[in-house]
Chain A
C-alpha cells in the first residue's frame, strides 16, 4: 500500500530525531574501551583502564561484586515471589467464584493504577519500626508488594485467554477445580508465567528509588545505587568513560535478556510500567 508514497523523507526525518539516542548508545559502547583527547570525538587509543572498578574496590563505594550479588538476589527473589503469588491469585480472580469477588477485582484494578512511589515515605518509616531498614530483605518485601498488583493483573490477562472448554471438560470428567488448574490450565499459561518472571526480574534489576531510600548503606547496595553514587556525589571527579563502563556492566544482563526474550516481553510492556 506504499506504492504512491515515497519513504525516503520519512526515513530521513526519523534518522535525524533518532540521532541523539544512537549517538548515546554508540559512544557508551565505544568509550568504555578507548581514550579520547579532550575536545575531540574520535578515540585515539584502546584501553581497559575504565574497567578497573572490577578489580580495584576503592574506585566506587564498596565492591562492585557485592553489589552485583545483591542485585541478583534482589531481582531473582522478587521475581520468584511475585510470579508464584500472582499465579494463584490471578487464577482465583479470573476463574473462581468466591465471596466479595467483585470487591477484590476492583481492588486489584485500583492498586494496579495507583502510583506506588507516593507511598515511599510511609514505607521508609514502617521499615524503621520493623527493624528492616537498610536490609536487603526489607527492600525485597516492599518491591514484591508493590509489584504484585501489576503481576496479578498481567497473569489474569493470560488466564482470561484460556478457553473455558478445557476446564469444563476437566470438571465434567470429575476432576476437582484444583486438579483442573494444576493439570490443565497451568500448562496453558506457561508462556505468560515465563514472561512475568522475566519482566519482574528486569524490573527488579533496574529498580533504583526503593534501594536508594530503603537500603542506603554500602553493604546492602545494589548496582543501581552503586552507579548512582558516581552521578550524585559532587566531590567525585567526573570521568564519563569510567561511569559508562560501570553502566554498561550493569546493563549487559538487561540488554541480553531483552534481546533473547523480546517477543515474550512485548505483551507485558504494552501494559506499561514507566511514565
Chain B
C-alpha cells in the first residue's frame, strides 16, 4: 500500500479542526474558566463589571466605625475643616468669578478653619466683591472643604494623594482605600455564604427531589411506552409514539403554555371540576405539592420520549427467535417482559439514567416557565437559584458573583460527571487510530 508522508496529514487534521477549536475555546472553555473567576468576586449591579472609582459616603463612615480605623481618623473625616488652598480658590473663581477669588486669596490664603461657621465668617471679609446671599455664601464655604468625603476620585493614586493632604493618619489609609472603592473585588465570601445559607441547602434538597422523581418518571414511563407500543400493530404504535414525541419537538414555551391552559383557574381542569361544583383554582401554583406534581409531569412528559426511543430500538434489536421460543414455551406477556426484554435493556436504562441525571441537575428552563420557583420558593432548584441570583430577581440588585458561585458548583459537577461518562463509553475504541495512517 502506498504511504503518504505523515506531516501532510497532521496539518490537514489540525486545519480541519481549527475553526471549531477557535469557537469552542472562545465561547465554551472561556465561560467555564470565567465562571470560576466570577465566583470569587463580589460583582453585582452596584459594583458594575468593569473597574470602579473611589468614593467615601456617609454609609461608608458608619461601616468604618466597626473596623480598625482609629477614632482620630473618623473624627478627621467627619470634621475635616476648611482650608483656603489653590484648589478651593480655583473652585471659587469658577463659581463667583476670578475677581472674588483673587480678593479672597489676598485675605486668607493658607488659612484653616475648623467649622463651617468660621469659614462663612471669613467669606464675609470680602469687601470689593461681596457674596451677598447667605445661601451662596454657604455654597462657597463648601468649596473649601478639605474632607475627602463625598468626592469622587477616578484612580487610587488621586484618592491617596487627597488622603495625604487631608492629614489623616497614614496607618488608616489602606482601610479607607478599601472602603471607598466602588468597583468589584476578589473575595471568598460567596463560597462561605453558599455553605452557611439555609436557603442553599433548601435548593439542594429541591434539586434532589426534582431530579429523582423526574428521572424515575422518565425511565419508568419511557419503559412503559417502549414495551407497550412494541406489542401493538405498527400503525397504532406509530400513532402513540408521535403523540409522545411531539413535546420534544415543540418549542418549550408553547409546550408550557399548553400546561398553563391545562392547570390554570381558567383552564380545562378547573372547567371540568366546575361541573362537579369545585371552585376554579390554579392547580399549578395553589399548593407546593401540586406545583411539584406539575413540574415533574411537565419535565417527565418530555423526558419520557428519550427513553421511549432508546428503549424501543434496543427492544427491536432482540432476536425475534428468542421471543417466539418463549411463546412456544407458554410464557405470558408479563414473563416475556420480565425475563427477556428487561434484561436486554440494562445498558440503555443505565445510559438514559446517567445522561438525564446530569441534564436534569442543571436544567431549569421548564421550571422557570412554569412555576418560576413558586409558590414561595417550593420548586426553586439549584440551577434556577443561580439564574435568579445573577440574572433576574425582583430586588433588582443582581449578584453576579454569588450567582456564579452557584453555577460553579454545577460546572464542577458537570466536568466530573462528564469525565466519568468518558470512562463509561468504550474510550479506547472511540479514539482508535485512523486506518490509513496505520
Binding site for B on A (CB under 8 A): 1-5, 7, 10-11, 13-14, 18, 20-25, 27-28, 38-41, 85-86, 88-89, 91-99, 101-102, 104-106, 109-111, 113-126, 128-129, 141-142, 144-146, 148-149, 152, 164, 167-168, 171-172, 174, 176-178, 202, 205-206, 208-209, 213, 223-224, 227-228, 230-232, 238, 240, 243-244, 247-248, 250-251, 254-255, 258, 266, 269-270, 272, 274-275
Give B61-88 as 1s and 0s: 1 = Cβ < 8 Å from A's Cβ atoms. Answer: 0000000000000000000000000000
The one of B254, B303, B436 that contacts A250, using a Cβ cutoff of 8 Å: B254
**Beyond A1-B327, A7-B231, A88-B17: 16 further Cβ-contacts under 8 Å?**
A4-B327, A18-B240, A28-B261, A96-B434, A97-B434, A111-B24, A113-B421, A121-B35, A121-B400, A149-B28, A205-B251, A224-B251, A231-B260, A231-B369, A240-B260, A255-B249
Q: A5-B231, A126-B34, A177-B9 are in contact. Are A275 and B299 (CB under 8 A)?
A: yes
Judge whether B430 and A269 touch: CB under 8 Å.
Answer: no
Judge whether B9 and A39 touch: CB under 8 Å.
Answer: no
Judge whether A21 and B243 touch: CB under 8 Å.
Answer: yes
For A224, the chain B residues whose CB sits under 8 A away are 251-253
Give B243-255 as 1s and 0s: 1 = Cβ < 8 Å from A's Cβ atoms. Answer: 1111111111110
Cα–Cα distance between A28 and B414 once the two chains are bound (Å) = 37
B30 to chain A, nearest CB (A): 7
User: Is B386 located at the chain interface by the 8 A CB criterion?
Assistant: yes
For B333, the chain A residues whose CB sits under 8 A away are 5
For A92, the chain B residues whose CB sits under 8 A away are 12-14, 16-17
Judge whether B229 and A275 touch: CB under 8 Å.
Answer: no
B353 to chain A, nearest CB (A): 12
User: Is B162 located at the chain interface by the 8 A CB criterion?
Assistant: no
Cα–Cα distance between A240 and B34 once the two chains are bound (Å) = 41
Give B320-342 as 1s and 0s: 1 = Cβ < 8 Å from A's Cβ atoms. Answer: 10011001000011000000000
A-B contact count (CB 8 A): 324
Chain A residue at minimal CB-CB distance from B43: A125
The one of A23, A106, A275 that contacts B303, using a Cβ cutoff of 8 Å: A275
Chain B residue at minimal CB-CB distance from A167: B436
Judge whether A177 and B4 touch: CB under 8 Å.
Answer: yes
Binding site for A on B (CB under 8 A): 1-2, 4, 6, 8-14, 16-17, 19-21, 23-24, 26-28, 30-32, 34-35, 38, 43, 49-50, 214, 218, 225, 228-229, 231-233, 236, 240, 243-254, 256-262, 264, 266-268, 271-272, 274, 299, 301-303, 306, 309-310, 313, 320, 323-324, 327, 332-333, 355-356, 358-365, 368-369, 372, 383, 386-387, 390-392, 400, 403-404, 407, 410-411, 414-415, 417-419, 421-422, 425, 427, 430-431, 433-437
Cα–Cα distance between A213 and B257 once the two chains are bound (Å) = 20
Judge whether A228 and B369 touch: CB under 8 Å.
Answer: yes
Closest 8 CB pairs of A and B: A98-B13, A145-B27, A115-B362, A89-B20, A96-B13, A92-B16, A119-B31, A247-B254
A156 to chain B, nearest CB (A): 9
A268 to chain B, nearest CB (A): 11
Cα–Cα distance between A110 and B258 once the two chains are bound (Å) = 35
13 example contacts (A-B, Cβ-Cβ < 8 A) are as follows: A7-B233, A85-B19, A93-B17, A98-B17, A106-B431, A110-B422, A115-B410, A121-B391, A125-B49, A126-B34, A208-B253, A240-B267, A272-B310
The one of A91, A125, A171, A228 that contacts B4, using a Cβ cutoff of 8 Å: A171
Cα–Cα distance between A1 and B93 once the two chains are bound (Å) = 103
Judge whether B419 and A110 touch: CB under 8 Å.
Answer: yes
For B262, the chain A residues whose CB sits under 8 A away are 20, 23-24
For A231, the chain B residues whose CB sits under 8 A away are 253, 256-257, 260, 369
